A and B are shown apart, each in its own frame.
Chain A
Amino acid sequence: MSFTTKEPFASTLLAKYENLPRGHYIGLVLLRTTQSETIFRTEGSGEPLSREVTISGTKTGQPIDRIVISKRKQTAVERRTGRELLRDFEVYAGDNKECLLNTQNPCGKCPDCYLYGYAVGSGGAQRSRVMTEDAFSLLDAAEVTSERTFNALFDNSTMRNPKTGEPSTSLGSSEYVRPGTHFLDIETLKDVTAAEFIYAMGNILQSSRYGAIGTRIGVVKNQILGIAVGKQEIFSTLELTQATYDLLESKQHPLVTETVAETAVRAAASLIGKVFGWRGHWISGNDLTPILADVAESYQNPAKLVADLQACYEKS
């Protein structure tokens, strides 16, 4: 955990969890690239993907449809990733085993409850210190989506029930996001400790399946493009998506991930200069490598990471 003791992290990361906001922000600029067909929708099976009309760029612009990964569905996945680790190291043992997501009974004392928050349990409410935004597809929805027909066959590999001869009703079509589609995103961590910072980064980097039918499709690769460390929140994901769109030479699917990453970093670097009153640090490119290596190293000794996390909440 060497980087956390150096500037700018040393003065930004808190030593222990504090109940009052101090406004120490860390913005993680992310590139999420779909590695398989993915489905991001909110209305249920058979409904179209979540989309939003936005202006294509900041300078050039006509309205285009963009696919949206809704903000709730990002932390939902990443929390579960983190909770697997916590459960593996007995955080949910003993009287704490009832702490389950969506059971109206959060324990209020595990790192997940503390960092990602909970509402209206018997122990009050904890505001999340991981703030997410809707992630937008870089390109027009028409470019990055397609449709598949699905059916479900009976045991005899036909659409007729072998016993009754009744036809199967499970026939339909789903819209999906094509593999290799790029979504730009920002997750903001507020007032976190060093262990929480590493845990949140690890959860993002280790989460691999987002959206519907996650056991079959939905594979997403997350990449951290830059880290903004400072006393305020940075630009929005939409601004970043639009500014990157402006700089892109080709606006046709598929795009080379490396090109998108480089372009997005350039866009972010120019946007961060325009953030009102910005006097924080922007870390990207080669400067990021040792940080990511340190995070990976922390996960080589997960027992210590979990112990460090729990130590953040010990009452002194």
Chain B
Amino acid sequence: MSTRLTARRRAARTGQYLALLGYLVFLAFPLLWLVSTAFKPPRELASLHPGWIPDHPTLDNFRQAFDEQPLLRSAGNSLIASLAAAAITVVIATPMAYVMARHHRSPLSRAATGWIVVSQAFPFVLVIIPLFLVLKEVRLIDSLSGLIMVYVVWSLPFALWMLAGYARAVPRELEEAAAVDGASRLRTLISVTMPLLAPGIVATALFAFITAWNEFFFALVLLKSPQKQTMPVILTHFIGTEGVADLGPLAAASLLATLPSLVLFAVIQRRITSGTLAGAVKH
């Protein structure tokens, strides 16, 4: 009896490890292929049996990528748009999130929560067409400022959601203690609440940065001139109208475009899952 049970358990364990292996292969192989392609010289890419590991790994693809497309400038554009969007988002979202956390039953907070939920459901087309027309009217089309404004509003729902979660976690009695000690309301907010909220604000800002850095649709629609375009848009230029032109530089540029958000995401990953989803369940 007991031997049969352990045999069954062993079979189950084996099955589990096989499933895990399948997942790892599914997850990792496309990624490894991207990396491998980025370091392959053209001759190996054109060969009938391109291998996993380049025989003669090269950095030429990276150099060629910079030659073919204005990568550096587009990275600069992406950096400006993402930094500005992240900064503005947290500056305007933090006070509102604080109010939502402390007065979550007020009509305003309810409306805000409703808007946060609804804004997840809207097809971007319905918003982008009027936005395009309005921004064109005020001459903010084909400008990074216009794109930044759109990014701020685009990341606001999630930023409010995250920040309100963090603000709820700040113990109210600490603020009360400060008030008892004679601190003014503003002073309490600045010297008691904000420091406690700081890690949440940083996480939210990084998240807004990644969102803007990775964004494609709005940038595609709103930016026309090549010298203003962001990195994801420039990446698509490597793909000619008739399919892929140069695989090596394409892969190399793609890797470079991924690095910033990958590093930042690794830093805040735990906070995103624990912070926001805990909030999602409790709501």
Bound together = no
Residues of B in contact with A (beta carbons under 8 Å apart): none
> Which A positions have Cβ atoms within 8 angstroms of B?
none
